[in-house]
Structure 1
């Protein structure tokens, strides 16, 4: 398989790094020169990766699959001049832009799928959401940590918006480590402790065939300290605030999609 990337930002780099780490059977990866410091680093690191100066050259390089990895506000300007090969498959990493709009701007006639990979695909440990079935993408991302194929636009939006929790998760750890610092724990020890704790809990969530509610109860003795922390968190509006934040992102995403 030959793969191309139009736009070479952090997520594109993570996907390419994962492909290389997984030893995925790819003959060649063509990347555009955009974000030259990243594209140059990739080509210097991997013999399979080559940098092309023009976006159209990526399409014309014989790619079976072309990833679109530009910013949403740049998408129309970048895509309208391009000419895709008849039936050439496209994977859009562009947030909020529907596949119908990608097809309209690009004129692509092949299968177009939205993909939502996360940075840990570089380490082969992140599940990627797809907007619909694609044999090529499902095979590729299964090797990079797993795949979920959304069954509706509502599901795709929900799964995509859940990825915005990354900053919040680190923010929670930041809050807890700052509190531990006030109790005299040095920052490196507090950070190491919190990271290892959440890593262990995340692994439990992945491995256990139980809901998060069941796992919460299993880790919270009635009247115990774990139960107390969650009860106070909920009573002080923590759960409601989190739900409100997710709903606000959903509203913004729907508004952006309607605008496009």
Structure 2
């Protein structure tokens, strides 16, 4: 199986590392293309992959990942669609680009899978939403899910939820990074050295996420386990509620979905 990436930014690089580390493919099974000379050099010198043009990468690939920014999708698709193998699996990473829109450019009979990964793929803890079109068989979908699972978790959802996944998963690492930064700033304000503050805050977030995933308990129940009556945590939670933390996160996600759907 030959795998190609058109575009090789941070997300594509993380995906490539995961695929290679998992042993699902070797360096000779992958090819990538890039716009800038700096990224082309990364492809050959750091990733040790063949670097081709967009058209060459399309012709090479049995599974083709489109890892360019959404605003470049139409131009890239129009330039490669006659070079893509007839039975190739085309995997997109862009918000807002629907299966119908993609099919109108590639051709309605093409095998297209929309995905929305996130940057924790860089450390093997990504979460990818997946939605295939009607031309993709169950076996082909399993092939792509296996590739996506090499750098985290992957789950099939209906297309109408892809933009919701963008908000709750694709973009949400930025929200969490803001939270970690703010938590660390609070610790620094009370005297903790910044490097230790980041470590304490980040590990607390990591451990809390694992508790949600591994215990199966509702986040509210886990929150209540920390909030002793009259205790320090309850006082902190009271301030967060007063300042509208929940509402801010909900409204941020709703804004993200609106933006994704408009792209």
Q: What is the Cα deviation at residue 156 of structure 1?
A: 1.9
Rounded to whole Å, the distance in 2 between the matches of 1:41 and 1:201 is: 35
Q: How does 1:59-208 map to 2 (within 5 A)?
A: 59-61=58-60, 63-82=61-80, 83=82, 84-107=84-107, 109-132=109-132, 134-150=141-157, 152-162=158-168, 163-208=170-215
Q: Which sections of structure 2, spanning at least 5 residues, go unmatched?
A: 133-137
The residue aligned with 1:41 is 42
> Is the contact made by 1:69 and 1:92 (CA closer than 8 Å) also made in structure 2?
yes
Instruction: State the Cα RMSD in Å.
Output: 1.9
The residue aligned with 2:216 is 209
Higher helix share: 2
Q: What is the Cα deviation at residue 57 of structure 1?
A: 0.8
Rounded to whole Å, the distance in 1 between the matches of 2:72 and 2:261 is: 19
Q: CA distance change for structure 1 residues 35 and 204 in 2, over 3 Å: closer, same or farther? A: farther
Q: What is the Cα deviation at residue 233 of structure 1?
A: 0.9
> Is the contact made by 2:95 and 2:261 (CA closer than 8 Å) also made in structure 1?
no
Deviations 1:60-115 (A, max 9, x none): 12x21111111111111111122122222100012221122122223373310111
Rounded to whole Å, the distance in 2 between the matches of 1:201 and 1:159 is: 20
Q: Which sections of structure 1, spanning at least 5 residues, go unmatched?
A: none
Rounded to whole Å, the distance in 2 between the matches of 1:95 and 1:39 is: 25
Deviations 1:126-150 (A, max 9, x none): 2211123612211212232221111
1:239 partnered with 2:239: no
Rounded to whole Å, the distance in 1 between the matches of 2:31 and 2:101 is: 24
1:28 partnered with 2:42: no
SS for the counterpart of 2:126 is coil
The residue aligned with 2:135 is none
The aligned length equals 252
Rounded to whole Å, the distance in 2 between the matches of 1:175 and 1:116 is: 27
Rounded to whole Å, the distance in 2 between the matches of 1:20 and 1:158 is: 30
Compute the TM-score of the two structures, normalised by the length of structure 2: 0.88
